Chain A
Amino acid sequence: MATQTQHSTTRRDFLFVATGAVGAVGAAAVVWPLINQMNPDASTLALASIEFSLAGIEEGQSVTILWRGLPVFVRNRTAKEIEEAKAVPLSELKDPATDESRTKEGHENWLVMIANCTHLGCIPVGESGEFDGWACPCHGSQFDTAGRIRKGPAPTNLVVPPYEFINDTLIKIG
């Protein structure tokens, strides 16, 4: 018996490790669907794109709509707000982005952004804060008239979702 235990690897050791490895892979394969069921389901994913009519939103008016369960700000900006946003030098910005990069060409008055603060997801309050944009009531982040982060803990600008103009008064988000 003593001679057998001195063998470094035996056929039995190999089978033992191989069985264990297959067992581990099998266990992982079983666990994955048990976790994956928590991911967004088909009915949630089915709401991926919506169309929204801009007709009826006056200059200076802002509406909040839902896209994939997320609130989205659609704001018809005033000329003063656009000017303010354009006047800010990029060097003053925490997450530098030009005003043009946050709107669509020829539709610069329209600002479309996901309404959740990029810090922890609260909904900032419009037309408030030191920068005439949005101020988040939760942790004090402040955004300017182009939705760019100017002050507070939020790391990035309010997110512009993928969208396009179908015609002058109709947009498709997603």
Chain B
Amino acid sequence: MSEHSTYTPGSGIEKWLDERLPIIRFSKEHLMDFPTPKNLNYWWTFGAILVMCLLVQIVTGVILAMHYTPNIAMAFDSVEHIRRDVNGGRIIQATHAVGASMFFAAVYIHIFRGMYFGSYKAPREILWILGVLIFLLMMATAFMGYVLPWGQMSGWAATVITNIFAAIPVIGTPLLELLRGGFSVGNPTLNRFFSLHYLLPFVIAAVVALHIWALHVPGNNNPTGVDVKDSRDTLPFHPYYTMKDLFGMVLFMIPFAWFIFFAPDILGHPDNYIQFDSQVTPAHIVPEWYFLPFYAILRAIDFNLLFIDSKLLGVIFFGGSILILFLLPWLDTSKVRSGNFRPMFRWFYWLFVINFVALTYLGAQPADGIYVLLSKICTAYYFIHFIVILPVLGRIETPRPLPTSISESVLSKSHA
């Protein structure tokens, strides 16, 4: 969006550089002068918070890799070595482990913010799709990272998750052996997971760059969902949003730091401090909290449907629960973006949030009794929200009148 640039190279050197690699011009256009809606609330700071999370994970991860040994005989001990012997290792390891949880907490807020304010609607479909892709890459990275300490939860997570691929007809078993590098999870598995866990964050960084590129074509959505009409609706990104984002980051660091310094293990499982034993599964295995909703969906399917057995069907629902997010821009038929102006959508949005939290809770419960039935109901509702409620709502709902512009909505608020 070069039309917003006010950049004129000052010195001779800047002019020389600008004609060869206009990197200062690019930074000024996209990091400083970029016109940003002036009504963005704090939910919009999570994009910047997520960039910070990725950087924290990369920096701490590169450091941990200097001390970690990806071999089944030594991996478990090397993590303990980091926590006990390496200078400051206790804090760095805790930051990386807690950082994964904080990263997912932030990404869930970011996703649900997009869902409420309709940030996935035209012309931001590609932006949304890239976001879902980042979410998928994050899940893969987090899963492989979780395997590296080689505790009981690590090993059994690796066993269960790779087994999901075995449900695919015909190619399932060869694919499973290809992924594991053996008939069971072992040293080849650990070794390749370490390699890929190191690679994927950089792939994520690349997709984040595309995500921001796709954001900077139409510009930010905003709480009213009304398009930017003229320069009165916007503020330059710097200093207005650089400062707001920084303040958001500082607030976000408070719980982050609390976990690191006071409760680094509270989000983990004691079983992961027992080295992996391929002959004994812990009595109650659960994934990390951020995978629980999808895990609940996987477990809820314990029945066959026509010629599809329960295992494959569970995997189809599990995969479908994430892949359906790619279709969200076309499933929501309403032309109004922001949930603030959609009286019926608001109710169903919060019902969806509650249902998602319920799935999180159910994923952590044992797979018997009432929990199985509740998981089935919540799984059904998860899909009904996307496949039935969203398409129908757009047709039957009468949205509230939209403000004519962002500045009008801001001014009417300040007068009220």
- The residues of A with any CB-CB pair to B shorter than 8 Å are 35, 38-41, 44, 64, 66, 68-71, 94, 115-116, 118-125, 136-140, 152-156
B283 at the interface (CB under 8 A from A): yes
Contact call A44/B310, Cβ cutoff below 8 A: no
Number of A-B residue pairs with CB-CB distance less than 8 Å in the complex they form = 106
Which residues of chain A are near B281, meaning CB under 8 Å? 122-125, 136-138
CB neighbours of A69 from chain B (8 A): 182-184, 186, 278
| CB-contacts of B294-323 with A (<8 A) | 299, 301-302, 304, 309-312, 314
Chain A residues near B245: list those with CB within 8 A: none
Residues A140 and B368 in contact, CB atoms below 8 Å apart: yes
From A68, A152, A153, A154, give the contact of B184 (CB < 8 A): A68
One digit per residue, 1 when the CB lies within 8 angstroms of any chain A CB and 0 when it does not, for chain B 146-190 equals: 000000000010011111101000000000011111111010100
- A140 vs B369: C-alpha distance in the bound complex, in angstroms? 10
Closest to B177 in A: A40
CB-nearest residue of chain B to A151: B302
Are A118 and B311 touching (Cβ within 8 A)? Answer: yes
B:259-310 near A, CB below 8 Å: 278-285, 299, 301-302, 304, 309-310
* CB atoms of A38 and B179 under 8 A apart: yes
Cα A70 to Cα B285 with chains together (Å): 19
Contacts of A115 in B (CB 8 A): 279
Given contacts A44-B188, A155-B312, contact A123 B283 (CB under 8 A): no
**Residue with the highest number of chain A CB atoms closer than 10 Å, among B164, B177, B311:** B311
Chain B residue, CB-CB nearest to A69 = B184
- B238 interface residue (CB < 8 Å to A): no
Residue among B162, B281, B299 having the largest count of chain A Cβ atoms under 10 Å: B281
Cβ of B64 under 8 Å from chain A: no
**Which residues of chain A have C-beta atoms less than 8 A from B372's C-beta?**
140
The minimal Cβ–Cβ distance linking B58 to chain A, given in whole angstroms, is 25
- Which residue of the partner chain B has the closest CB to A152? B302
Contact of A123 (CB < 8 Å), options: B177, B178, B280, B312: B280
Q: How far is the CB of A40 from chain B (nearest CB, A)?
A: 5
| Residues of B with C-beta under 8 A to A40 | 177, 180-183, 188
Interface residues, chain B, with chain A CB atoms under 8 Å away: 156, 159-164, 166, 177-184, 186, 188, 192, 278-285, 299, 301-302, 304, 309-312, 314, 366-368, 372
| Least Cβ–Cβ distance between B369 and chain A, in angstroms | 10
Give me the 9 closest cross-chain CB pairs, A-B, nearest first: A140-B367, A155-B309, A69-B184, A153-B302, A121-B163, A120-B163, A122-B281, A120-B160, A68-B183
In the complex, chain A residues whose CB is within 8 Å of the CB of B159: 116, 120-122
Q: Contact at A38–B181, with CB atoms within 8 Å?
A: yes
Q: How far is the CB of B167 from chain A (nearest CB, A)?
A: 8
The distance from the CB of A126 to the nearest CB of chain B, in whole angstroms, is: 11
Q: In the bound complex, what is the Cα–Cα distance between A40 and B174 (angstroms)?
A: 10
Beyond A71-B278, A137-B282, whether A38 also contacts B192 by CB under 8 A is: yes
Bound CA–CA A115/B302 (angstroms): 20
Q: What residues of A have a CB within 8 angstroms of the CB of B367 in the complex?
A: 138-140, 152
Contact among B166, B177, B302 with A39 in the assembled complex (CB-CB below 8 Å): B177
CB atoms of B182 and A44 under 8 A apart: yes
- Which residues of chain B are near A153, meaning CB under 8 Å? 299, 301-302, 310-311, 314
Q: Report 28 cross-chain contacts, Cβ distance below 8 Å, ordered by A residue.
A: A38-B178, A38-B181, A39-B178, A40-B188, A41-B182, A44-B182, A66-B278, A69-B184, A70-B184, A116-B159, A116-B184, A120-B159, A120-B160, A120-B164, A120-B311, A121-B160, A122-B285, A124-B281, A125-B281, A137-B285, A138-B160, A139-B302, A140-B372, A153-B311, A154-B310, A154-B311, A155-B312, A156-B309
**How far, in whole Å, are A169 and B218 apart by their CA atoms in the complex?**
75
User: A102 vs B314: C-alpha distance in the bound complex, in angstroms?
Assistant: 27
Inside 8 A of A121's CB, which chain B residues have their CB? 159-160, 162-163, 166
| Complex Cα gap A119–B80 (Å) | 32
> In the complex, what residues of A have CB within 8 A of residue B312's CB?
155
Enumerate chain B residues within 8 angstroms of A71, measured Cβ to Cβ.
184, 278-279
B284–A137 touching, CB < 8 Å: yes
B314 — which chain A residues lie within 8 A by C-beta? Answer: 153
Specify which chain A residues have a CB less than 8 angstroms from the CB of B162 in the assembled complex.
121
Q: Which chain B residues lie closer than 8 Å to A39 at the CB level? A: 177-178, 181
What chain B residues lie within 8 Å of A155 (beta carbons)? 304, 309-312
Nearest-Cβ distance from residue B279 to partner chain A, whole angstroms: 5
Distance, CA A66 to CA B184, complexed state (A):
10
Instruction: Say whether A44 contacts B183, CB under 8 Å.
Output: yes
Complexed CA–CA distance, A111 and B3 (Å)? 76
Residues of A within 8 Å of B178, CB to CB, are 35, 38-39
Distance of B303 from chain A, by nearest CB (Å): 8
**A37 to nearest B CB, angstroms?**
9
Most B C-beta atoms less than 10 A away, residue of A70, A71, A138, A155: A138
A154 to B188, CA, bound (A): 27
Find the B residue at minimum CB distance from A142: B368
